Amino acid sequence: EYLSTWIEAKKYNNARITINAFESRGNMINNVNKAYPKSDVVDFHYKGTAEYDGMDWRGMRLVFDEYQGKRYLVGIINDRWTV
């Protein structure tokens, strides 16, 4: 239910992707490094549309941990414009 409600995967088809690098985009506090201090985080950023002056931007972060030599998805973080 979380994925269908909060994550619009098609928006990330042409997203800018970074690994373990974050930029401030809104007023939400990014505490991913505190919550997942030893994890790798893949950040997908959809810049939004001109129609909404970019205020419809979205971010999705996938958090990965290593366990017994394999990488596992341990978190999905949604980020978007808030007021």
Would you give the distance in Å from CA 54 to the centre of its chain?
16
Higher pLDDT, 71 or 83: 71
- Spatial separation of the C-alpha atoms in residues 33 and 54, rounded to whole Å: 26
Confidence tier at 36 by pLDDT (50, 70, 90): very high
Which pLDDT value is given to residue 24?
66
Domain that holds residue 67: 2-80
* Distances, alpha carbon 2 to alpha carbons 44, 68, 80, in Å: 17, 28, 15
In terms of Cβ atoms closer than 10 Å to its own Cβ (0-12, 13-18, 19+), residue 62 is middle
Question: For the chain, what percent of residues have pLDDT higher than 70?
Answer: 99
For the chain, how many structural domains are there in total?
Answer: 1
As a whole number, mean pLDDT of residues 37-55 equals: 93
